[in-house]
Structure 1
Amino acid sequence: MNTNQVSRRDFLRVSGLAGTALCLGFYFPSSAKEAEIINTTGTASSEIELNAWIHIDTNGKVTIFNHRAEMGQGSFQSVPQIIAEELEVDLKDVNIVFAQGNREKYGNQVTGGSSTIRSSYKNLLKLSATARVMLISVAAQKWAVSLADCYAASGHVFHKTSGNKFHYGELVVDASKLATPKEVILKKTSEYKLIRKPLLRQDTPLKTNGTAIFGLDKKLPGMLYATVERNPRLRGVVKSFDASAALKVPGVIKVFKVRMGVFKTFREGVAVVANSTWAAMQGKKALKVAWDDTGFEHINTADIYKRQQDSLQTQEGLFAKKQGEPDAILKQAEKTVDVVYQTPYQSHSCMEPVNCVAHYQGDKVEIWGPIQAPEWVQDYISEQLGLAKEKVIVNMTFLGGGFGRKAFMDYPHEATMISKEMSAPVQVVWTREDDATQGPYRPGISYRCQGAIKDGEITALKFRMAGQNNDHWRAGKTDQANRSTAEGFLKPYYDSIKNISFAEVQFETPIPTMWWRSVYASTNGFAYESFLDEIALAAGKDPLALRRQYLQEERSQLLIDKMEAVSGWKQRKKNEGFGVAITECFASTVGQIVKVSRAENGKIKIDQVWAVMDCGWYVNPDIIKAQVEGSIVMALGAATIHEITFKDGLVEQSNFYNYKMPRITDIPPIEVYIMENEANAGGVGEPGLPAFAPALTNAIFDLTGKRIRKLPFDLSAV
C-alpha cells in the first residue's frame, strides 16, 4: 500500500468528509493499482472518520461501514471482523451500517464474483492497523512513555506497567494531527483473536427479531406503491391497454405505460400505482393489455438444445484458450472420447422477490433497496436521466438472497421512471410470478467434450460450449469468445496436459441471461468434471488418482490428500457409489466427494457429501461452512429438481409449485473442511457450488454404470 500526503481540500473532495477531524483513510484513484493511504492535518472536531470505513466519536463509539451488500453471504460480519481485529475493538461494541454507493470512497462495491473479502482484506487490515498505531502513539505521548510500553485492546490504549488507559474517543482528535506511518506491522495469523474464529454473526439477531431492514421494509412519507404488468415474451411492446377496471379498484391512483432498461434493450409494461401494495396488485389483475410480439423469435426449449448441439457438430467456434495442437492429436488418436453434456436455464428464485424504492426529485433521485451493485445503478440511471452521478444516491438494504439477480439495473430504473411520472416516492414490488417469468436467467448450455488417450495417458482435451454469452446482453454482440469458457477448470491441468483448447460456439436467443451463483463455473463444472471421469474410465484409472496425477501443484495435492482422508475414498465398499469433482472459480478451489447407494425402495439415496475448500486466507469458518452448505443445496436443486423451460416464447414456470425447491428432507449430510494456508484470500460465496453436480452424477455412474449427461435429472428415476 502506498502512502501519499494530500491537501485537506483534496481529501474532502475525494472522501466527502467535511466537518470531520479525520486525516487518515484510503481512496481509489483510477491511475493507481491499489488503494492509497492519505493523511492531512485535522481540525478540532467531535469525531474522526477513516474515509468512512471506520468512524470513531469522542465517546469512543465505533461505527463500521460495510461497503458491500449483505445478502446472506456474511459480509456484514466478515468486513467488521477484519477491521475489529487490527483496530482492537470488540465487535459487540461496534455499530455496523451499510455504506451508500460511492465509488470514490469505497472503490468497487459490486457484490459479485465472491469478491468482497478477497478484493479488500489487505487494505482493511492495513488501514485498521494504521489507525491503531496512531492512537497508541497519541497515548504514549500523553504518558511520555515509549510505544513499546503501550498496547491496544477493546477500544482502549493501555500502559503496561501503570495500568493507565485511554478510550479511543479521548485520542482521536490528537491522532488526526499525526503523520501517517509509512509502514505498520500486521498481526501474524497465530496472533488473531477474531479472524479465523467462528464468531456469531452480527446480523442474525436483527433478522430474527425483525429489526433488520430489507427492501420491502423501507417506508418514506407520502410513498406510493406500484406493480407492473410486463410483456410475457420479454421483448414485445405494449399495443394498447384498458385500465378502466383497474382504476375502479379502491386505492388505485394511476395506470400508465412504463419502460425499463435491460442493459442494451428495453422492456415495456403497464404500471399500476396505488396507496398500498395490495391495491396495486389487485389493479394489475384487472388490467387488460394487448401486446405486439412481432419481430423476434418465440423460442422453444427443444429448439434451443437442438440448435446448440447441431452447431457443436459443425462449428469450431471462437477460441477462448488454446495450447498445443489438440486437433491434430485427436485426428490421429486411436482412442478418443467424444460426448455432449447439457445444462438447463435456471431462475435465481431469491426468497425475497425483486423490489425497489425510488424518489425522483427533479435534480436528483434517491434509491433504497436490495441492491448488489450500487455504482452500476448510479452509472446507468445517471446516463438514462442525464443526471450527474453524485445526484443518483443509492442506499443498500439487507437482501433476502441475490445470486447475481440483484446486480442488475432494470428494477431500480423502472422504479425511478414510475417515481418520476408520479412526482412522489414509489415502491415497486415484483410478484413471485414476475420474478420467475421475466428473468434474467442462467443460460442453458450444451458442451461437446473430446479427449485423446494413449497408453493410459491424456494426450489432448478439446472443449466447446454453445450457450448465450452474458456479455452480449450487457455490452452488445461481440466477436470475442466468452471470457468464461474455461471457468471452473483448474489451472494446474495446463502444466501437465500439453494439448488443450476451449472454444465458444456463439449462440443467441431473445431470452435475457445474466450471472447466476458461480456464473459459468456452475455449468462448465458439470461438463468438464464429468468428462474427466469418462476419461479416467477410458484410461483405466481411478477418478481421484487421475486428478492427482494431472494436478501436480502442491495446494491441489494437499486438497486431494484431505478429500481422500475425510471420505475414506480408498476404503470404498461394494454397493456404494463414490463420485469426485474438483473445480476452481474466483480464486478458490473446492473438491467434493459424494457417496450414494440404493435405498430399500430401490431409489438412489445420497448418503454423504464431503466438501474441502481451499480459499487461502479467510475470516470466519462458520460463514464458510454455511456458504458451502448453501451452495450444495442450490446445486442439488439445479441438478435434480428445477429448470426454466420455454414454449412459444413463454416461460412455463411461474412459482414454486412448478419450479420446486429442495426440501429439508432432500438434503444429505454435508461435511465441510477448510484448508489452512497463508495464500491470498479467495472467494467463498460461490465456489462451493460447481463441484456438486458432477460429483453426484459421477457417484451414480460408479454405483449403477449409468452416465448422466443432461441436467436436471430425476434422482428417483435413476
Structure 2
Amino acid sequence: MENQTLSRRNFLKSSAVTGTVFSLGFYWPNDAKSAKIIQATEADNFGVEMNSWVHIDTSGKVTIFDHRAEMGQGSYQAVPQIVAEELEVNLSEINVVFAPGDSKKYGNQVTGGSSTVRGSYKNLLKLSATAREMLIQAAATQWGVPKMECYAEGGHVMHKPSGKRKHYGELVEAASKLVAPKDVVLKKRSDYKLIGKPLRRLDTPLKTNGTAVFGLDKHIPGMLYAAVERNPRLRGKVKSFDDTGARKIVGVKNVFKVKMGVFNTYREGVAVVADSTWAAIQGKKALKVEWDDSGFEHLDTEEIYKRQAEALQTQEGLLFKTQGEPSEIIAKAAKKIDVIYETPYQYHAAMEPLNCIAHYQDDKLEIWGPIQAPEWVQDYISKEMSIPREKVIVNMTFLGGGFGRKAFMDYPHEAAVISKEIKAPVQVVWTREDDATQGPFRPGITYRCEGVISNGEIDAFKVRMAGQNNDHWRGGKKDVANRSTSEGFLKPYMDSIKNLAIMDVPFETPIPTMWWRSVYASTNGFAYESFLDELALEAGKDPLDFRRAYLKEERLQKLIDKIQEVSGWKDRKKGDGYGVAITECFASTVAQVVKVSRAPAGGVKIDKVWAVMDCGWYVNPDTIKAQIEGSVVMALGAATIHQVKFKDGMAVDNNFSTYQMPRITDIPPIEIYIMDNDADAGGVGEPGLPPFAPALTNAVFDLTGKRIRTLPFSLQAV
C-alpha cells in the first residue's frame, strides 16, 4: 500500500484507475462552518483544495481514502462500510488507500479519543449518497427517463419499468460533468444493508497473508538503519561516549550524539547508523556512554505515592467543579467516609515497538511509519527543524497497536534529525526495552474521596486527585485544574448530587507522562466507581439501584435495565461475588458486571464479565465487540498484573518477562451487548476499559469483604 500526495495525477497513478475518473470530496471554505461537497473538476476550476474521498473510474473500480490511522481499532473497515452503504456498492469491491497527512484536505486526522467514526460519519454518509444520486441522474438522463424511476444497487443503476441497467463505470464521465446536489436524502437505519451488520474486516486478509505494510515492513531505496542509546532519565544529558566497540561491528556506518523533542523538553542519546537493523542494535550494545543526570530528582515509586498522599492531606487543590456545600457538610458530619485510592503508572505495550523512516532533503522532509497524528508531527517538526509545514510529508502505514503512544512526535522527530545528519533516508527502530522504559507513561494517580450519607442518600461528595497533568508537558497553565479531572464520571451524577466538589491537586515529577487508552477515565473510573460502591454500602442500598437513583436520563435507565437483565443481577445468590461499574468517555457509556468466586487453589478467580455499551449510531457490531474484549483484557492486565515501577528515576521493568501481559488462560468469558437507539455516534475503541477495574474490585468486596483500593492487586493473594 503506497501513500502519495493526492493530486489528480498521483491518484490516477497510485490507484491504477482507467480513463476518466469521477471524484467527489470536501473542501472547507474560509468563511464556512461546515464542509462543502465538491467535484474534482470544480476544485480545479475554483483553485481550491479538495480532500479526495471517493473515486470511481471507468471500470467501475471504487477507491476511497481512509483519513485516519488503522491500528487495530477498525477505521480501515468502518470508513468503507459507511461509504459502501450510501454509495450502493459491494464492500468487497472497494479499494482502501491511507490518506497522507494533510489537515487542509482531510480535517483532523488524529486517531485518538475514539473519534474516527463519530467525527466523520455524517459527512461520509452525505458524500456517498451525493455520489449515488449523481450517478443515478447521469443514467436517467442517458435513458431519457425520470430520475425517480431509477435506483442504485450493487454498483449499478437500474431503471424499474424497463429493467435497464448501467454499471457505475459506464456513468463516470457523465456524472463527472454534473453539479453536486446541495441536499440528498439519507437512508433510514431500518433500510441499511451494510451498516449495523457484523461484516468481515477488509484488513484481515492483508494481515494474515503478509501483504499489510506496517511501519517495520516499509522500505525505501538507499535506506540505512539506526538504533539509539537514549538516556534512561528524560532530563539527563550525554556527558561523553566511547564508540570504539560500536565501530568494530560489521555494517556500522556512523555514531553520533542525537537529541529529540519530548513535549517541551528534550531527550539525549547516541545514534548508531548501520546497513542493517541487526548491526545498528549490536553497535548500540557496544557503546559506552557516561550520562550527566544532575539538576533533577531521581524518584522511586514509593516516594511518588508518598508525596501524592501527603499532598491530598494538606492541599485542597484547584477547583474543577463545585456545587452546594460539600466541604462544610463533611467537616461537620459525625460520620463520614474518607478513603484513598491509588492507580499505577502504565506502559502502552503495543505489539509493534516504535519505528519511523525519515528522508531529509534540501527542500523537504518525508516520513513513513505507524503514526496516529500526522498533523501534530507536521506542526512539531516544522517548528523544530525550520521546515515549511507543507514540506513535511507524512505517510501512514498500518500500526501494530498504538493506545495513544503513537500519537506523539518524539520518534518521527528523532528519525528526521538522524536523516538530516547522515544525508540519507533512515529507519529508526526501537527495541522492546527502549519502548518499555523510555515513556511517556500513563500517569500514576492517588485519589482522596470523602462523602457523607444521610437518610440513605448522598449528602456530600468530594474527590481530589493528585497526579501528573499531561497538559503541563505541552505548556498548559499550571494554575488551572486538569481538564480531565472528572473524565469517566457520568455527568448526570453532577446534576443529581446536590453537594459535590471535584478538585485537582497539582503534582509533578521529571517522569514523562501522556495519554493511554481511555486517558484519565482509566484511572478516574476506578476511584469514582469504587467510591460509589462504598457510599451504596453505607446507605444500605443495592449498588446498582443506588446508581440508578442518580442516573435519571432515559438512555442510562435503559442501559441499567439491560445490564441488570443480562447479568442476572437481581437473581444473584448469597455467596456469589458480583460487582458493577458504569463509566462514560468519548460520548459512549459502558456498564460492566463482573462475577468472581473462590479459586480452588486459593485466591479469587473471575467467572464472567458482562458488558453493555451505548455508543449511539454504530457501524459494525463485531468491531465493537472486539474493542470491548480488547479493552477488558487491557484493563485486566493494568488492574491485576503489571505496572511501571521506578527506581532512582528509571523504569525498572524493560520487557514482557517482568512487565507481564495477561495470558489467554487469564481471560474470562466476556458477554457483550450493544444498545440500539437513534443517538449520535459515540466512541468505541476506548470506553470499554474504565469500568472493568472497579467492577472487578467491587465484586471482590462482595465476595470477600475485602476492599481493594490500590492497583494492581493479586487475584491469588486476595
TM over 0.5, shorter chain? yes
Counterpart contact for 2:225–2:427, Cα < 8 Å: yes
Counterpart contact for 1:78–1:620, Cα < 8 Å: yes
Aligned letter for 2:342? Q
Q: d(CA) in 2 for partners of 1:110 and 1:462? A: 34
Q: Relative to 1, partners in 2 of residues 1:152 and 1:542: Cα closer, same or farther, differing over 3 Å? A: same
Partner of 1:651: 651
Partner of 1:61: 61
Residue 508 of structure 1 deviates from its aligned partner by 0.3
Partner of 1:665: 665
Task: Indicate whether 1:515 and 2:515 are aligned.
Answer: yes
Partner of 2:17: none
Residue 169 of structure 1 deviates from its aligned partner by 2.1
Q: Relative to 1, partners in 2 of residues 1:61 and 1:21: Cα closer, same or farther, differing over 3 Å? A: closer
Aligned letter for 1:466? A
Aligned letter for 2:283? G
Residue 50 of structure 1 deviates from its aligned partner by 7.5
Greater mean deviation of Cα atoms: 494-503 or 679-688: 494-503
Alignment of 1:160-179 (within 5 A): 160-179=160-179
Task: Indicate whether 1:197 and 2:209 are aligned.
Answer: no
Partner of 2:15: none
Partner of 1:251: 251
Aligned letter for 2:608? Q
Counterpart contact for 1:234–1:511, Cα < 8 Å: yes
Partner of 2:217: 217
Counterpart contact for 1:229–1:284, Cα < 8 Å: yes
Q: d(CA) in 2 for partners of 1:242 and 1:510? A: 27
Q: d(CA) in 2 for partners of 1:54 and 1:322? A: 48
Task: Indicate whether 1:188 and 2:198 are aligned.
Answer: no
Counterpart contact for 1:21–1:42, Cα < 8 Å: no
Q: C-alpha deviations, 1:541-573, integer Å up to 9, x for none? A: 000000111101000000000001000001111
Q: C-alpha deviations, 1:304-362, integer Å up to 9, x for none? A: 00110100011111111222221122223333211110000000010100000011111
Task: Indicate whether 1:319 and 2:288 are aligned.
Answer: no
Q: C-alpha deviations, 1:614-655, integer Å up to 9, x for none? A: 000000000000000000000000000000011111111100
Give the fraction of aligned pairs with identical amino acids, expressed as a percent. Answer: 73
Residue 194 of structure 1 deviates from its aligned partner by 0.4
Q: Relative to 1, partners in 2 of residues 1:360 and 1:41: Cα closer, same or farther, differing over 3 Å? A: closer
SS at match of 2:227: strand
Counterpart contact for 1:636–1:662, Cα < 8 Å: yes
SS at match of 1:140: helix
Q: d(CA) in 1 for partners of 2:232 and 2:204? A: 38
Output the TM-score relative to the length of structure 2: 0.96
Q: d(CA) in 2 for partners of 1:68 and 1:160? A: 39
Counterpart contact for 2:21–2:58, Cα < 8 Å: no
Q: C-alpha deviations, 1:439-497, integer Å up to 9, x for none? A: 01000000011111111111221111000000011235532110000000111112211
Residue 25 of structure 1 deviates from its aligned partner by 2.2
Structure 2 gaps, min length 5: 13-19
Q: d(CA) in 2 for partners of 1:589 and 1:655? A: 34
Aligned letter for 2:488? G
SS at match of 1:712: coil
Q: d(CA) in 2 for partners of 1:172 and 1:494? A: 54
Q: C-alpha deviations, 1:23-62, integer Å up to 9, x for none? A: 74212456543322235855999xxx98311111121111
Q: Relative to 1, partners in 2 of residues 1:31 and 1:320: Cα closer, same or farther, differing over 3 Å? A: farther
Partner of 1:403: 403
Partner of 1:8: none
Counterpart contact for 1:236–1:294, Cα < 8 Å: yes
SS at match of 1:506: strand
Q: C-alpha deviations, 1:51-104, integer Å up to 9, x for none? A: 311111121111111100000000000011001100111111111111101101
Partner of 1:604: 604
Residue 599 of structure 1 deviates from its aligned partner by 2.0
Partner of 1:302: 302
Aligned letter for 2:273? V
Q: C-alpha deviations, 1:354-396, integer Å up to 9, x for none? A: 0000111111011000000001001111111111111111000
Alignment of 1:103-252 (within 5 A): 103-252=103-252
Counterpart contact for 1:334–1:454, Cα < 8 Å: no
Counterpart contact for 1:225–1:275, Cα < 8 Å: yes
Alignment of 1:598-637 (within 5 A): 598-637=598-637
SS at match of 2:548: helix
SS at match of 1:290: strand
Counterpart contact for 1:195–1:620, Cα < 8 Å: yes
Aligned letter for 2:71? M
Q: d(CA) in 1 for partners of 2:90 and 2:654? A: 46
Residue 173 of structure 1 deviates from its aligned partner by 2.5
Partner of 2:16: none
Output the TM-score relative to the length of structure 1: 0.96
Counterpart contact for 1:460–1:499, Cα < 8 Å: yes
Partner of 1:52: 52
Counterpart contact for 1:28–1:106, Cα < 8 Å: no
Partner of 1:350: 350
Counterpart contact for 1:254–1:272, Cα < 8 Å: yes
Partner of 1:697: 697
Q: C-alpha deviations, 1:90-131, integer Å up to 9, x for none? A: 111111111101101110000000000000000100111111
Aligned letter for 2:118? R
Task: Indicate whether 1:563 and 2:563 are aligned.
Answer: yes
Q: d(CA) in 2 for partners of 1:128 and 1:92? A: 16
Q: d(CA) in 1 for partners of 2:464 and 2:28? A: 39
Aligned letter for 1:373? A
Counterpart contact for 1:27–1:107, Cα < 8 Å: no
Counterpart contact for 2:40–2:50, Cα < 8 Å: no
Q: d(CA) in 2 for partners of 1:17 and 1:498? A: 59
Q: d(CA) in 2 for partners of 1:36 and 1:444? A: 44
Q: C-alpha deviations, 1:565-591, integer Å up to 9, x for none? A: 000001111221000000000000000
Q: Relative to 1, partners in 2 of residues 1:524 and 1:32: Cα closer, same or farther, differing over 3 Å? A: farther
Residue 165 of structure 1 deviates from its aligned partner by 1.6
Residue 235 of structure 1 deviates from its aligned partner by 1.1
Task: Indicate whether 1:91 and 2:91 are aligned.
Answer: yes
Aligned letter for 1:453? I
Q: d(CA) in 2 for partners of 1:670 and 1:691? A: 14
Task: Indicate whether 1:711 and 2:683 are aligned.
Answer: no
Counterpart contact for 1:41–1:178, Cα < 8 Å: no
Q: d(CA) in 2 for partners of 1:30 and 1:659? A: 50
Residue 676 of structure 1 deviates from its aligned partner by 0.4
Aligned length: 702
Greater mean deviation of Cα atoms: 606-615 or 90-99: 90-99
Q: Relative to 1, partners in 2 of residues 1:40 and 1:262: Cα closer, same or farther, differing over 3 Å? A: closer
SS at match of 2:483: coil
Residue 174 of structure 1 deviates from its aligned partner by 2.1
Q: d(CA) in 2 for partners of 1:678 and 1:646? A: 47
Q: d(CA) in 2 for partners of 1:412 and 1:51? A: 24
